[in-house]
Amino acid sequence: MSEEQIKYLEKQFEERIARDEKIEPKDWMPEKYRKTHIRQISQHAHSEVVGMLPEGNWITRAPSLRRKVALLAKVQDEAGHGLYLYSACETLGISRDELYEQLHSGKAKYSSIFNYPTITWADMGAIGWLVDGAAIINQVPLCNTSFGPYARAMVRVCKEESFHQRQGYEIMLKLSNGTPEQKDMAQDALNRWWWPSLMMLGPTDAESVHTEQSMKWKLKRKSNDDLRQQFIDQTVPQADILGLSIPDPDLKWNEEKGSYDFGEIDWDEFWQVVKGHGPMNKERMKARVGAWERGEWVRDAAMAYAEKQQERKEKQVV
Amino acid sequence: MKQNLYNYILGIADNSLILGQRMGALTGHGPSLETDIACTNISLDLFGQVRSYYQYAAKVAGDKRTEDDIAMLRHEREYLNVLLVEQPDTDFAYTMGRQFLFDVYHFLFLTELQKSKDLTLSAIATKSLKEVSYHQRFSTDWIKRLGDGTEESNKRMQTAIDDLWTYTDELFHQTDADKEMVAEGIGVDVTTLKEAYYQKVADVLQESTLTIPESKYFQKGGKQGIHTEHMGYLLAELQYMQRAYPNMEW
Ligand SMILES: [Fe+2]
Ligand SMILES: [Fe+2]
Ligand SMILES: [Fe+2]
């Protein structure tokens, strides 16, 4: 294709997106669009799958049968999210094995929030409330993103995430209205998860790369700082209802702005975790890589068996 | 309280509780996302069944105890599950072997329990049977894949079956509570399931190019609350919150 032809196709492509048309896997797309989408969708898929680990950590110790069932169902949903997102990503011409390889080698990123440890039961509440809450804020705009398979996956995922958020909040509510020990447990979890949840919405706009292009492709519709503000404004009143305090002495309602002012985020901590040196980065990867390696003979067996079955079928036809 | 009925319910439910706990622990650590989802699903089904049984048992007990008290506040010697379900997940072959050897029994058992004169038990059985027929299909398929897959998988699957075999006979032992319940038309006479069980298991093993173990030495004790050394650790996790923070609501 000549450069001119490509320019023409790109122009048409951008116009389609501007008209809110969906791009489908078989449509022509600029290489950069494909690569950016592979990166973002796989990063999202990896986050769902790595995200199973911190909560999976409490399945065997859930305090009641009802909570155990709800937690199992939640973690199972996250696995399902991983599955649709990997499938959406595969439509762009990359295999799931390649995507795993990128995760396991450290080439691909996943949400840094999952590199924090879950050390008490209240963390199950805090994660549902704050982490799924922040995820929803990030993801609701993606239900209208330009790439069809991603947009459709997001519609389904967001519905389940809001269910998770309510479930997490309900755990916090129960703890906050419980014994002093339970209330302390809830406050402690909020203290530990608050700042990482704010970081989850991404670096400040000043430091954020790729934003402009992403806005055009509707991979992003609001800036990180706007999303963060939205999250804070939505969450603070919820903490008030719980009777818990947000661990930020600078948090204050700003009448003029009609939103909360808040304290400085520790971006050094954020970058440390992003670069692989958070409290649980190594353990999370060890768990994923370990599961994958331990499972190799199982996957090989399934493949060998399927091939044998196919051969047997073919012989029968002959 | 009807002690026999109470014990009888626990004898059924504890199997699902302990197996559900084992399967739940695997979430996020399985060989593929698909098997993870399936194993979590099995765990979810089993815990759903457990809740129905224990809620009924709590009603039979007629005091203040709740489903969670029954699930999480007994001593090890009071759990009545068979030894098979508490066996560890040495590798995926053990996980699937344990599941398969239990599912075949579970399916036969629930089919009979549907005929119970106790309407609650028969209703739980009917509902659970749909789930368990799916579990059985899933574990059977994996026995076939692993048995008739690669040389390595065949070896691993055979080792798992050989090791777990010793726990199968206990499935067909009758306790005193069982006998009473059978006499009252409530319980299932498990001794009558044995032939169909070993026939079905043998058929699947054969199709999977696995050898049917010949060992005649079997372990028992679970139904009397005498467990293997694995059980204490499993219960330590299961009971952790209820023991560390007694008398609270979650
Ligand atoms: Fe999710
Ligand atoms: Fe998500
Ligand atoms: Fe979620």
Instruction: State the DSSP string of B25-52.
Output: HTTT-SSSHHHHHHHHHHHHHHHHHHHH
**Is the distance from CB of B237 to CB of A60 less than 8 angstroms?**
yes
The amino acid sitting at B80 is: L
Residues of A in contact with B95 (CB under 8 A): none
Question: CB distance A121–B47 less than 8 Å?
Answer: no
Gap from B111 CA to chain A (nearest CA, Å): 25
Gap from A133 CA to chain B (nearest CA, Å): 21
Q: Relative to the alpha carbon of A55, which ligand is closest? A: 3
CA of A158 to the centre of ligand 1 (A): 8
Question: CB distance A121–B71 less than 8 Å?
Answer: no
pLDDT in tens, B22-61: 999 999 999 999 999 999 999 999 999 999 999 999 999 9
CA of A83 to the centre of ligand 1 (A): 10
Q: How far apart are CA B63 and CA A56, in angstroms?
A: 34
In this structure, is residue B33 part of a structural domain?
yes
Q: What is the 3-state secondary structure (H, E, C) of chain A?
A: CCHHHHHHHHHHHHHHHHCCCCECCCCCCCHHHHHHHHHHHHHHHHHHHHCHHHHHCCCCCCCCHHHHHHHHHHHHHHHHHHHHHHHHHHCCCCCHHHHHHHHHCCCCCCCHHHHCCCCCCHHHHHHHHHHHHHHHHHHHHHHHCCEHHHHHHHHHHHHHHHHHHHHHHHHHHHHHCCCHHHHHHHHHHHHHHHHHHHHCCCCCHHHCCCHHHHHHCCCCCCCHHHHHHHHHHHHHHHHHHHCCCCCCCCCEEECCCCEEECCCCCHHHHHHHHHHHCCCHHHHHHHHHHHHHHCHHHHHHHHHHHHHHHHHHHHHHC
In this structure, is residue B250 part of a structural domain?
no
Full-model pTM: 0.96
Find the domain containing B6 and state its range: 2-244
Return residues with CB closer than 5 A to ligand 1 (ion).
A 48, 78, 81
Q: How far apart are CA B107 and CA B33, in angstroms?
A: 26
Nearest Cα to Cα of residue B228 among B127, B81, B123? B81
Size of interface A-B (CB pairs under 8 A): 140
Q: Quick one: pLDDT band at residue B132, thresholds 50, 70, 90?
A: very high
Question: CB distance B27–A52 less than 8 Å?
Answer: yes
Question: CB distance A79–B36 less than 8 Å?
Answer: yes
In this structure, is residue B107 part of a structural domain?
yes
In this structure, is residue B37 part of a structural domain?
yes
In this structure, is residue B249 part of a structural domain?
no
How many domains in chain B? 1
How confident is the prediction along chain A (318 residues), in pLDDT tens digits per residue?
Answer: 788 999 999 999 999 999 999 999 999 999 999 999 999 999 999 999 999 999 999 999 999 999 999 999 999 999 999 999 999 999 999 999 999 999 999 999 999 999 999 999 999 999 999 999 999 999 999 999 999 999 999 999 999 999 999 999 999 999 999 999 999 999 999 999 999 999 999 999 887 766 778 888 998 888 999 999 999 999 999 999 999 999 999 999 999 999 999 999 999 999 999 999 999 999 999 999 999 999 999 999 999 999 999 999 999 887
- Global ipTM: 0.97
Burial class of residue A290 (count of CB atoms within 10 Å of its CB; 0-12, 13-18, 19+): exposed
Instruction: Please state the rounded mean pLDDT for residues B99-127.
Output: 98
In this structure, is residue B90 part of a structural domain?
yes
**CATH number of B76's domain:** 1.20.1260.10
Gap from B19 CA to chain A (nearest CA, Å): 12
**Is the distance from CB of B20 to CB of B46 less than 8 angstroms?**
yes
